[in-house]
Amino acid sequence: MRTQLEAVVGDQLLLGNPMFVTGGAEAALTARSLLTGATGTVLTSSFGGIGPTLDGGALATAGPSSLDWNIHRITPDGSGGLTTAAVAEVPAAATGVQGLAVAGGELFFYGATPGASLRYSSFQLDAAGRPDGPQTRRSPGLSPSTCLTGDAACPQLEALGDGRVSHLWTGETGQESVVTVGLDTTTVLGAPTDGDSSGRIGGGTGRYVLYNGGSGKQRVVDFPRAATAGETALTRDRAAAAVWGQTLWVPGGTQGQVTGRNLKTGTTTTVATGAPCTPTDIQAVNTWLYWSCGSSAGVYDRATQRRITVPADHGPARLADGFLLRENRTTRELLSDFHTGTAAIRTLVKLPVTDQNTGGSNGRWAVDRFGGPIAYLNGTYGEVSIVPSGVPTSPLAQMEAQAHSPSVIGRSFPWTPVWQLNKPSTWALTLANSSGKIVRTLTGSSTGAAVRPAWDGTTDSGGATGGAYTWKLTAHPRDGQGPDLTLSGTMTLG
């Protein structure tokens, strides 16, 4: 990253205003001591607006996002260092949203922000779909996504419902990688596709992302708990497919069948959807399976064995919890197709004539498959509208779990299980010893729709513990719909 001299404050040279910022790097204001040559960061997320003042100090702009952008005064601290203080707030500026996604009560958007080339940011949403709290950073600065020529749905984003969002990135050699970010502001996890390119993200939930390669191969990429990189869990010929929880759904051996493969155990389950064809599109949410052959489409409810015919056309469609969202490219209407066992078409919203982003689902509009609202770009630069579906959500359920049983835990290496649920919750986790006495209680709110506690092995009174333990997780649906979910298991600590 090339820098230039901006000011001299005390014994420090201020260096900033980078000529370019590489992906993953942060545009920052740094200082170099004229006495020792030592360097350090003065302000992170600082780009432009740097200059000296008449009193020997300097002013610089910095902040994590356009909603938190300030002018900072930089002065000597009397011991050879520097002090900084925010002296004025810069009004928020609209930034272009190049893509959006919603999952687990979180609205993610991808676009340019001050201090970085591109990054993900998010808003937490309350049970009614309203923003609850400030805009927060969910990734470091990123390189631009590579789009296929003429691709109207790029960048491709897939919010995974566990606090993470996935997209594709192309390296200098042309090889694509599947990338996830979101659990903090610095970590980027990637999984190469062994030279594949011109691919698409076909879906994903929690730890699993479906990648459809331009080579004709399809991959399920796994990003498990505590991973430092993703890995390919399954490779097969490209076909219609969907991932929900730990199950991969694909066309079955005969017409109308859809087969679910458990990605952990390899066991399969086959259902007869009634489709008069081999589906060209399959989507899965909870007990719902959507299939489409282009000229015909339907939804199969695995819980009740109901077969529901839904309208079919060639516009983008997105299955959610109890309803289907279709974009009619002629009328520009976003339609909710079914929710009670029969197709009940209604106009949910009419998309603007002019869009700031020309992408389809997850480009201009997105739906929360984890029991949440619909979001869309409303035609005003940088603004997103959110509307509720009006459809009751399914009961709280576990989709996948990584409740490992370590033999030793501690403050530096706690027990960090992950329970992927189908919608956001508040939760309580209790640990009981071999006598049945509860020695530790942890509480919290889900990250997206995933429960992510951490137990360091100490009791509520602070003492260390060991031996056999029973854990019990009680999750309460944040939207208040349906009963609590209770899960339990055992573990032994050395």
For 46-68, the pLDDT digits (tens) are: 766 688 888 889 998 888 766 67
Among 149-153, 165-169, 380-384, name the most confident range.
165-169
The CA distance from 127 to 478, in Å, is: 7
**What is the pLDDT, as a whole number, of residue 359?**
47
Could you tell me the two tokens for 481? Answer: 């719909």
pLDDT at 80: 81
Least confident span in 68-72, 204-208, 294-298: 68-72
Is residue 359 within 8 Å of residue 148, measured between CB atoms?
Answer: no
Helices (H) and strands (E) in the chain, counts: 0, 42
Single-letter residue type at 239: A
- pLDDT of residue 1 exceeding 60, the answer is no
Q: What is the reported pLDDT for 73?
A: 93
pLDDT digits (tens, 9 = 90+) for 131-160: 998 888 899 888 777 666 655 556 788 999
What tokens appear for 132 in the block?
Answer: 């609850």
Which among 408, 373, 377 is positioned nearest to 391, based on CA atoms? Answer: 373
* Res. 283 pLDDT band, cuts 50 70 90: very high
Amino acid in position 118: L
Task: Report whether pLDDT(172) > 90.
Answer: no
Query: Does the pLDDT value for residue 366 go beyond 80?
Result: yes
SS3 content of the chain, % helix, strand, coil (to 5): 0, 50, 50
d(CA 9, CA 28): 17
Judged against a pLDDT cut of 50, whether residue 422 lies above it is answered with: yes
Rounded Cα gap, residues 261 and 208, in angstroms: 13
pLDDT value at 20 more than 50: no
CA distance linking residue 108 with residue 136, whole number of Å? 10
Residue 115 pLDDT > 80, yes or no?
Answer: no
Average the pLDDT over each of 37-51, 436-450, 458-472, 475-489 and give the range with the smallest value: 37-51
pTM score of the predicted model: 0.83
The pLDDT value recorded for residue 23 is 46
Q: What is the dihedral of CA 271, 272, 278, 280, to 10 degrees?
A: -60
CA distance 251 to 485: 32
The predicted pLDDT at position 484 comes to 98
Residue with tokens 């429960």, as numbered in its chain: 451
List CB contacts of 214: < 8 A, sequence separation 6 or more.
196, 197, 198, 199
How far is Cα 429 from Cα 453, in angstroms, rounded to an integer? 8
